[in-house]
Structure formats: C-alpha cells, structure tokens
Amino acid sequence: MLDSAKLINIVLVETSHPGNIGSAARAMKNMGLSNLNLINPKKFPHGDARALSGNALDLLESAEVHQDIQSAIANSKYVLATSARERSIDWPIVEAREAAIKIKSMVEKGDEISILFGREDRGLTNEELQLANEHLIIPADTDYPVLNLAMSVQLVCYEIHMALKSDQNFSWQDYPEYTHQEIENLIKHFNETAFKLGLIDKSNPKQILTRMERMFRRLHPDKMEGNFLRGFLTKVNKLLK
C-alpha cells in the first residue's frame, strides 16, 4: 500500500445493509485503500459484513464509527460527495477520473481527503451534499445510471488506485489548504458578518447563503488566503462596534 493512500478516507453514511459494508471494504482493499469510516451504520459489526469482506476483515476491524459526518471529515482538506441527484443550486461537479488526479496531488503533499457515499435508497441529503467541496459523479449510460453502493466504491477506488500509480503530478499550491473545519469556521464568520452589515434578511435569506457556501468550498482556500479573509472579517466586525 502506498503511504499516500493512508490519507484517503472512504466514508459510508447510514448504510442499511451490513453486507454492503463488507463489499465496500473488499473493494477498498483490492485498490490499496484502508481507511473505512462509518456514519451511524444500521447494523455493525455484523456477520454479513464479515462474510462479504473476503480478506478485508482487517478493514472492518479498524473501521471508525462516527455519530455524524462532521466528526469524520473535520481534518480533511478536500471533501467529495458522490451524487447523481439534481439540485436547485448546482454544486461544482467532477468526474471520478478527474477527481482521482486531484486526490493524488493532494495526498502526495500530505493532505487528508474524504469521499462520502450515501444511503443505498436515497443517497445523501442536501445538507450533507453541501459539506463537500465538489460532487463526484461516475459517468454511466443515461438509460440506467444507477449503481449500487459497493459498485460505486469499487469504481472510485479503482480510479484513485490508477492515479496513484501514475507519474503525473499537478500540484501548484505553495501553502497548505484549509481543512474542512477551517472552511466551516470561515463560512460561519462570513455569514455572521453579512448579517451584522444588514446585507442578508435573516427572516428570508433565500439561497444566497447556500451560494456563498458553495463559492467558498469551490475556491478551496489555502491557509494564507483563508487567514487573510478571517482577518478581514474580524476587522470589519471591529469597525461595526
């Protein structure tokens, strides 16, 4: 297993069928990934998970179980959410192969990343999708684009495996990126300042807050950029007093 692969977290959200957890673990191990995170699984540990994991029992035994997504991705600097859903506000979208190249670039610098996979029957909620920097899609035939959970994990892990094996490197940033939690804090700081300035009607914010959140996640600021923005917002708040 490549050391950089250890920085990649596969996060399964509220998986209903324990067999899917086992199949996902097997798919991960096939492709050299080991960090399995489970958000409120319906049944885990479970015999079906062990039965379908093949030789990936070690991934099940080391899997981290969380009560919420935030705690699982707090230290990640790049969060992807798998989705095929249409939304009223579009989010930045990346195909699995392109996402894998980005992931390679980041983990080779020591950055942690997370990939969210939703529930078998209804995927991720709008609120959960908005936690991601980008939405990851797997191109499929339009007549029947539906993939089951284990298939999705297998395909995404395959693209990551192939990217990590390649010699391509697209890194260009000179400062480490903000973590997911740091971006959350920046968004909260911005929203609070916008309300103080009277730019947003609290009783009817419409979709502007969602759009601004999307902007910050799309920009994916590094520490120099993010800290400057936090300083700017702090100065604005002091002048408002």
What is the DSSP annotation of 129-167? HTTSSEEEE----TTS----HHHHHHHHHHHHHHHHHS-
| Cis ω before 45 (30° cut-off from 0) | yes
Q: What is d(CA 105, CA 110) in angstroms, rounded to the nearest whole number?
A: 9
Write out pLDDT tens, residues 122-157: 999 999 999 999 999 998 888 888 899 999 999 999
Q: What is the pTM of this model?
A: 0.76
C-alpha neighbours within 13 Å on the C-beta side of residue 203 = 0
Q: What is d(CA 159, CA 150) in angstroms, rounded to the nearest whole number?
A: 14
C-alpha neighbours within 13 Å on the C-beta side of residue 167 = 0
Q: For residue 100, give the nearest of 14, 35, 159 by alpha carbon.
A: 159
**Beta bridge partner(s), residue 99:** none
- pLDDT higher than threshold 60 for residue 236: yes
- pLDDT higher than threshold 80 for residue 86: no
- pLDDT higher than threshold 90 for residue 96: yes
Q: How confident is the model at residue 170 (pLDDT cuts 50, 70, 90)?
A: low
pLDDT at residue 172, as a whole number: 56
Contact 107, 69 (CB under 8 A): no
What are the chain's domains?
3-165 (3.40.1280.10), 180-240 (1.10.8.590)
- Assigned token pair, 149: 């959970």
Write out pLDDT tens, residues 172-201: 567 788 999 999 999 999 999 999 998 888
